[in-house]
């Protein structure tokens, strides 16, 4: 595994956004629900219930109400969990185009969930962010 990057400009220059295949859904289930058979990507316990991100088809099969349909974009750069500014940089770039993003920072990579119908535009925006950082390299 590569060394985790800490410098924001280096992270942005190395940014590579990849759309993962499929359609994903945010759902919420009551505490105590058995979710052991669900193929969720993310699980988070909140006061109101358990939030899950899972393939949309699995949500339909389990008859779970879908709160948000989305595309999953992975940032393949290995950023340090203590690196400051990455989420602010890409969320600012996306929000400047009116694209919402829901972020999961995992151990090695950041994962962005964007509205399904804005996925291609989000990828283009993230690529532009990286190109801008690459063009700002001092000679």
Per-residue pLDDT of the chain (139 residues; tens, 9 = 90+): 678 776 767 777 778 899 999 999 999 999 999 999 999 999 999 999 999 999 999 999 999 999 999 999 999 877 767 777 788 888 999 999 999 999 999 988 889 999 999 999 999 999 988 888 778 765 5
**34 within a domain of the structure (yes/no):** yes
**1 within a domain of the structure (yes/no):** no
Domain of 95, in residue numbers: 8-135
Q: Which domain CATH number covers 42?
A: 3.30.2130.10
Model confidence pTM above 0.75: yes
Structural domain tally of the chain? 1
**3 within a domain of the structure (yes/no):** no
CA distances from 82 to 9, 57, 86, 136 (A): 15, 35, 10, 23
**111 within a domain of the structure (yes/no):** yes
**100 within a domain of the structure (yes/no):** yes
């Amino acid at each position: 595994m590569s060394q985790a990057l800490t410098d924001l400009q280096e992270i942005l220059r190395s940014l590579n956004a990849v759309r993962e295949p499929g359609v994903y859904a945010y759902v919420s289930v009551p505490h105590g629900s058995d979710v052991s058979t669900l193929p969720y990507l993310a699980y988070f316990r909140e006061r109101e219930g358990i939030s899950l991100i899972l393939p949309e088809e699995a949500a339909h099969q389990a008859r779970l109400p879908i709160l948000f349909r989305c595309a999953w974009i992975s940032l393949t750069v290995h950023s340090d969990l203590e690196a400051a500014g990455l989420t602010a940089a890409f969320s600012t770039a996306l929000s400047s185009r009116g694209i919402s993003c829901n972020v999961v920072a995992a151990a090695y990579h950041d994962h962005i969930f964007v509205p399904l119908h804005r996925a291609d535009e989000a990828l283009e925006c993230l690529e532009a962010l990286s190109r801008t950082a690459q063009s700002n390299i001092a000679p």
